[in-house]
């Protein structure tokens, strides 16, 4: 799973020149909020070259398109782009239309599609959106959602939306992106770090970043700690020893261990079987 997605305006040459050095698992070239209306056509025209340049440096490239803008998808679906982020996804039919639009341009090449959910209706439709074939991930749009609710983007206001996105994504094994914090928070990194920890505890797998200072915090926060990895290895070793004797439940570290706990340890270690 990708832990950090760093936004960069698709027309910002200064930031584009160094974005590959920031340590993000993926970069999102933004055609939406970060590009003024009068510059969008130029951003689309230059997108392929920018994406190819970053991909040549080993960057996983995504593009955030504008809602209901086929010209953005035309520009974004190219060989150097791994995935599309579509904003303001409210329901399954809209998600299916976007999948169809991407597929019509991709010539059978797999292209990830992350549905950015930024409204109350989108949150309540998260599970149907996740159920659309071709959706690769769900992401929480904390700023637009809390603006609709008339509240600040805090751990209290965003706790339930995070949980609903995490649960919906888990039904299909998708990426679940976001945290219960303002995406614009890059000064108070302790607050940001705590929000990332909360997100991981409820099942989120990564997050969007708008500032390089957030990247290392996201990468660390969504990765298992050395202690977690050590415990998972010890648990699996004990389980395999017991399994050889035909035992289905064991005591380990003061608790009972059975198949679901073992499955969680394997997932933590990236072991499929």
- How far is CA 245 from each of CA 108, 175, 232, 250, rounded to the nearest angstrom? 48, 37, 20, 11
- Strands of the chain (E only): list them: 4-9, 26-30, 61-64, 83-86, 112-117, 137-140, 175-177, 207-209, 250-252, 255-257
Asked whether residue 148 is marked as a ligand-binding residue, the answer is: no
Report the sign of the C-alpha dihedral through residues 75, 77, 79, 81, in that order. positive
Residue 109 — left, alpha, or beta (φ > 0 → left; ψ -120 to 50 → alpha)? Answer: beta
Asked whether residue 118 is marked as a ligand-binding residue, the answer is: yes
Taking each helix axis from N to C end, the angle separating 226-243 and 259-269, rounded to the nearest 10 degrees, works out to 130
Asked whether residue 144 is marked as a ligand-binding residue, the answer is: yes
Residues at the binding site are: 64, 118, 144
Residues at the binding site for substrate are: 64, 118
Residues at the binding site for Mg(2+) are: 118, 144
């Amino acid at each position: 799973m990708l832990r950090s997605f760093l936004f960069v305006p698709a027309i910002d040459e200064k930031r584009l020149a160094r974005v590959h050095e920031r340590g993000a698992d993926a970069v999102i070239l933004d055609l939406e909020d970060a590009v003024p209306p009068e510059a969008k056509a130029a951003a689309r025209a230059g997108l392929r070259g920018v994406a190819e340049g970053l991909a040549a440096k080993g960057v996983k490239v995504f593009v955030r398109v504008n809602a209901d803008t086929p010209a953005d998808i035309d520009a974004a679906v190219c060989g150097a782009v791994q995935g599309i982020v579509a904003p303001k996804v409210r329901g399954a039919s809209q998600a299916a239309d976007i999948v169809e639009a991407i597929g019509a341009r991709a010539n059978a090449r797999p292209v990830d599609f992350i549905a950015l959910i930024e409204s109350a209706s989108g949150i309540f439709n998260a599970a149907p959106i996740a159920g659309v074939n071709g959706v690769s991930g769900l992401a929480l749009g904390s700023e637009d959602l809390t603006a609709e609710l008339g509240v600040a983007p805090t751990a209290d206001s965003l706790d339930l939306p995070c949980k609903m996105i995490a649960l919906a994504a888990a039904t299909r094994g998708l990426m679940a992106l976001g945290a219960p914090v303002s995406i614009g928070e890059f000064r108070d990194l302790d607050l940001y770090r705590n929000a990332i920890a909360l997100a991981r505890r409820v099942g989120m797998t990564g997050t969007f970043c708008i500032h390089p200072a957030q990247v290392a915090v996201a990468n660390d926060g969504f990765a298992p700690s050395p202690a977690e990895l050590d415990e998972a290895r010890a648990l699996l070793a004990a389980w395999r020893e017991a399994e050889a004797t035909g035992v289905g439940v064991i005591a380990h570290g003061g608790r009972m261990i059975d198949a679901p706990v073992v499955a969680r340890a394997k997932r933590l270690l990236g072991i499929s079987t």
